[in-house]
Amino acid sequence: MSQKKKIIIMFLAALLLYLHAGCWSRREINELAFVMALGIDSLDGGKLYKVSVQTANTKTFAKEGSGSTEEKSFAVYTATGATPAEAVRNLSQQLPRRLLLSHCRLVLISENLAKSGVEPVLDFLQRNREVRETVWVLVAKGQADVLLEQEFDMEDIPADTLSRLIKLGEETSRGYAATKRDFLYKLTTARIDPVAASVEVLPDVAREGKPGVQLGGLAVFRADKLAGWLDAKETRGFLWVTGEAAAGSIVLDSPLVPGKVTFEFLRVQSRVTPQVRDGRVVILLDVETQGDLGDLAEPWVSRGQDNSGGGMEELIKEVERGVQETIEDEILAALHRVQREYKADIFGFGDAIHRRLPNEWRKIEERWDEIYPSLEIHIKVSANLRSSGQTCHYRHR
Amino acid sequence: MLEDGRISGRQFTTLIFLIIVSITVLQVPPLLLGLAGQDSVLAVLIAVIIDGVVAAVLYFLGLRYPRKTFIQYSEDILGKIPGKFAAVIFIQFFLLVAALSIRGMSDFLVTIMPETPLTVFIIAFTLVSAFVARGGIESLARMSEIIAPVYIAAIVFLMALLLPEMDFSRVLPLFRYGAKPVIMASLLPASWFGICIIMAMFMAYHHRPEKTFTVKMTGVVMGASVLLLLLIACIAVLGVEYASMLSYPVYILARQISLADFIERVEVIWVAVWLLAGFITISSLHYVSALGTAQLFGLREYRPLVLPLGIMLASFSFLIYPNAMSGVKFILQIFPFYALSIEGGLTTLLFLIALVKLLTNKLGKERRR
């Protein structure tokens, strides 16, 4: 290699150093506002969108352990705009840092906006490249920005409190939180209607001036519009049908034992099978569950009493029958509310027919909205009591 | 000889494989899902069969005119002037597909990095592909041999991580609308698989031309399997309607991975391997256009043509369509028919004329006896 070539290569290599200084569009942590939760309200009867962001105050994280909580660990900013995207842009008028939506955990949509249609909001969420598919889409009972301002117990940032509540709610079969992906899948698929979890503040159960918060019943949508709510019982009915129920308890009155019995279910499976009967499409719904005895009131009353197993079969049968009835009851409550009142197909029965009986579906596709409210659904529940827990005591009356 | 290199059977396979899995898996899934829904899976299988027929035709021609690319043998078949005309059509087709690929990849990268101008990506791709194209077929083939296993490993890894997110009941129903729309929809993947007529250029440099058909179809089947896997994953994770609404469902698919809140945000792995594959595609197309042009004009060296063609490619990438939305329209409504008329039509025409010539020669010989 000639001397000249060497010099040129050295020069080019030195030029490379400039590129190593960093990215063109780098964004340092102290220039960013980490959005933990996004709230969207509608104003002026839907003409304006009001966007509120709950941002983490990174300064308080640095002072960990000091214990002085004079400074709030989060801040809420709001702005309005004619579209969700414009409202988010308008936030920069008051927020000195650049928004980063990648860490956003949940999107809260206010009740009013949900009623008038959430499609513009979800379109914005899908086009935006920062919002992950795993964010939860929630409906706030009341206003979203008010809810985001609330400080709750335990976690420093309310968005964390909410997302833990959601996780626990799902684990104990109290609710079902749709992610952006779930919601958009159901919204774009014409044969399923979306649902979303709701969040409500409980001002009555305040602790140290901080109100309580809870995961409410499901918000039922018809296409992109909020049709109504489900209560706790109906929400669990929905979970039974879709097989989303994870674990939880059912309390029974049993004539065989003096008090009440708790059945702790652990495993739930459900199967939706559409079938043609007498020229009409009906849905067969099979729900299977398995669980243990959680408690049995007064099993100890007389010590050393009969432990030989007499009457055990009756008790097991009794509990299993009671569980079946309760589950059926909950499913019927949900079906009744959703099918007759809201006329929303949140269980995806239409989609099940489309998958399994595509030829039948083509016949009824056009009239589905009329057929659905009177669709016949045959429910079959089977419960299996697996064990009596860490004790084998029970008392036979 | 313009090109003295020889490539092995495995290199042939990996080249064809990477050409299929780069630009095809980016452009085809959303459009195909929109056209055929759950039947997309069948459409891909039909497309493989269509491509097999084209491959058989080119295989026959390649054996009939050994060590010649189809730029060269189209002159032997059609005569001087029409032959050159056919060669020009092939070359501009490669250029167009190269420009489409560069633009498609740049459009995708712009959606991830919106602040970077499109120009930067287009020029970067063109420069790199020019560099590789100057290296000749052997370096290209060796690159592909290295990249293909990495690509396969990454896809297997991502698919395994996506399994918990999948709901396979969404894959049903099949054949909801009957056969006709499926066959129409299969033209879209077929037109993209058809880029593999590039085999007629590579076959001349394959060290065992008689094996070309097998190794080529291995590459196509492997590539189609990756496309099938991704389509099924799109349907099972996102659902047909949602996936067909997205510009780049495979990217969104990779974003869904979340294992135990620990393995997350791995979509960049997919972007990385897919960029590698795309880089092989663009380089291959750039190379064959330069080589083809040199053969067309009977030049002794193709390397001086690489950079000028690169400038054409870069500007062509800009001008090919004004924005990503009209690009979708072009790919959906124009490209399949344009591409298949060359990939299927022109090659079959060559084949038929070559066949007639062969038969008349034989008949003539017999008559003379």
For residue B322, is pLDDT > 70? yes
CB contact set of A203 (below 8 Å; sequence gap of 6+): A211, A212
**Residue A257 — very low, low, confident or very high, per pLDDT cuts 50/70/90?**
low
- SS3 for A166-233 is HHHHHHCCCCCCEEHHHHHHHHHCCCCCCEEEEEEEEEEEEECCEEEEEEEEEEEEECCEEEEECCHH
Q: Which residue of A has its CA nearest to B115?
A: A25
What's the CA gap between A253 and A262, in Å, rounded?
9
- Domain boundaries defined on chain A: 26-229, 242-397
User: Is A191 in the B-facing interface, judged by CB distances under 8 Å?
Assistant: no
Q: Are B199 and B220 in contact (CB under 8 A)?
A: no
Q: Which pLDDT score, from 0 to 100, does residue A397 have?
A: 44
User: Which carries the bigger pLDDT value, residue B99 or residue B2?
Assistant: B99
CB contact under 8 A, B241 and A133: no
pLDDT at A109: 92
A236 to chain B, any CB pair closer than 8 A? The answer is: no
Mean pLDDT of chain A: 82
Are residues B302 and B294 in contact, defined by beta-carbon separation less than 8 angstroms? yes
B322/B190 Cα distance (integer angstroms) = 25
Strand order in the sheet with A376-387: A248-253, A260-277, A280-296, A376-387
pLDDT digits 0-9 by tens, A39-98: 999 887 778 899 998 888 776 666 555 555 566 788 888 888 899 899 988 888 888 888
Closest residue, chain B, to A134 (C-alpha): B256
Helix (H) or strand (E) holding B58: helix B40-64
What is the predicted pLDDT for the residue at B180? Answer: 83
> Closest partner residue to A133 among B112, B169, B256, by Cβ?
B256
For residue B111, the chain A residue with the least C-alpha distance is: A129
Q: Name chain B contacts of A188, Cβ cutoff 8 Å.
A: 239, 241-242, 245
Asked whether A249 and A266 are in contact (CB, 8 A), the reply is no
A181, B169: Cβ pair inside 8 Å?
A: no
pLDDT band at B222 (very low <50, low <70, confident <90, very high): very high
> Residue B319 is which amino acid?
L
Q: How much is the average pLDDT of B205-227? A: 89
Question: What was the pLDDT predicted at B181?
Answer: 84
Fold of A242-397: GMP Synthetase; Chain A, domain 3 (3.30.300)
Distance CA B125, CA B108 (A): 13
Comparing A72-76, A176-180, B239-243, the range with the smallest average pLDDT is A72-76
Phi and psi dihedrals of A339, rounded to 5?
A: -75, -50
Pairwise CB contact (< 8 Å): B239 & A133: no
Q: What is the pLDDT of residue B314?
A: 92
Question: pLDDT tier at A223 (50, 70, 90 boundaries)?
Answer: confident
**pLDDT value of position B309:** 92
- Predicted confidence at residue A63, as pLDDT, reads 56
The identity of residue B279, as a single letter, is: F
In this predicted structure, what is the pLDDT of residue A61?
63
Asked if B242 lies within 8 A of A185 by C-beta distance, the reply is yes
Q: Which residues pair with B51 in a beta bridge?
A: none
Q: Which of A12-21, B192-201, B296-305 has the lowest mean pLDDT?
A: A12-21
Phi, psi dihedrals of residue B332, rounded to the nearest 5°: -85, -40
Tell whether A391 lies on the interface with B, counting CB pairs under 8 A: no
Helix (H, G, I), strand (E, B) or coil at B272: helix
- Per the model's pLDDT, the better-predicted residue between B346 and A389 turns out to be B346
DSSP string, B62-126: HHHSTT--HHHHHHHHH-HHHHHHHHHHHHHHHHHHHHHHHHHHHHHHHHHSTTS-HHHHHHHHH
Nearest Cα residue in chain A from B258: A134
Query: What is the residue whose two structure tokens read 């005895």?
Result: A293
Contacts of B176 in chain A (CB under 8 A): 354, 358, 362
Residues 6+ positions from A144 with CB-CB distance below 8 Å:
A39, A40, A41, A52, A108, A109, A110, A113
Q: Minimum mean pLDDT among A111-115, A274-278, B78-82, B263-267: which range?
A: B263-267
Q: In whole numbers, what is the pLDDT of chain B averaged over residues?
A: 87
Q: At a CB cut-off of 8 Å and minimum separation 6, what does B275 contact? A: B105
pLDDT in tens, B126-174: 999 999 888 888 889 999 999 999 999 999 998 998 888 888 888 888 7
Mean pLDDT over A10-28 rounds to 77
Q: Which of B114, B176, B238 sits opposite A358 (nearest CB)?
A: B176
If you average pLDDT over residues A12-21, what whole number do you get?
Answer: 79
Provide the 3-class DSSP secondary structure of residue A79: strand
Strands A32-43 and A106-110, how do they pair? parallel
Residues of A in contact with B325 (CB under 8 A): none
**Chain B: nearest CA to A203, how far in angstroms?**
32
The predicted model gives A373-397 an average pLDDT of 76
What pLDDT, in 10s, does the model give residues A88-133? 888 888 888 888 888 888 999 998 888 888 888 999 998 888 888 8
For A359, nearest residue in chain B (alpha carbons): B176
To the nearest whole angstrom, how far is the Cα of B242 from the nearest Cα of chain A?
5
Who wins on pLDDT, B321 or A62? B321
Count of helices and strands (H, E) across chain A: 13, 14
Per the model's pLDDT, the better-predicted residue between B179 and B238 turns out to be: B238
> Which domains are assigned to chain B?
9-368 (1.20.1740.10)
Q: Tell me how far apart the alpha carbons of residues B171 and B232 are, in angstroms, rounded to a whole number.
A: 7
Structure-token pair, residue B352: 């038929």
Are the C-beta atoms of residues A270 and A241 closer than 8 Å to each other?
A: yes
Give the mean model confidence (pLDDT) for residues A302-317. Answer: 61
Q: Which residues lie closer than 8 Å to B324 by C-beta, 6 or more apart?
A: B107, B247
The answer to whether residue B348 scores a pLDDT higher than 70 is yes
Are the beta carbons of B239 and A132 separated by less than 8 Å?
Answer: no
Q: Report the residue of chain B nearest A187, measured CA to CA.
A: B242
Residue of A89, A135, A181 best to disrupt the B interface, most CBs of B under 10 A? A181
CA–CA distance, A379 with A285 (Å, rounded to integer) = 5
Chain B hits for A185, Cβ within 8 Å: 238-239, 241-242
Q: Suggest the residue from B110, B116, B176, B259 to mutate for an interface test with chain A (most A CBs closer than 10 A).
A: B176
Secondary structure (DSSP) of B193-255 = HGGGGGHHHHGGGBSSGGGHHHHHHHHHHHHHHHHHHHHHHHHHHH-HHHHHHSS-HHHHHHH
Share of chain B above pLDDT 90, in %: 25
Beta carbons of B252 and A133 less than 8 Å apart: yes
Tell me what pLDDT residue A303 has.
Answer: 46
Cis peptide before B173 (omega within 30 of 0): yes
Q: Stretch B72-77: mean pLDDT, rounded?
A: 84
Test B242 with A189 for CB contact under 8 angstroms.
yes
pLDDT above 70: residue A306? no
The 10s digit of each residue's pLDDT in B201-214 is 888 888 888 888 88
- A358 and B240 within 8 Å at the Cβ level: the answer is no
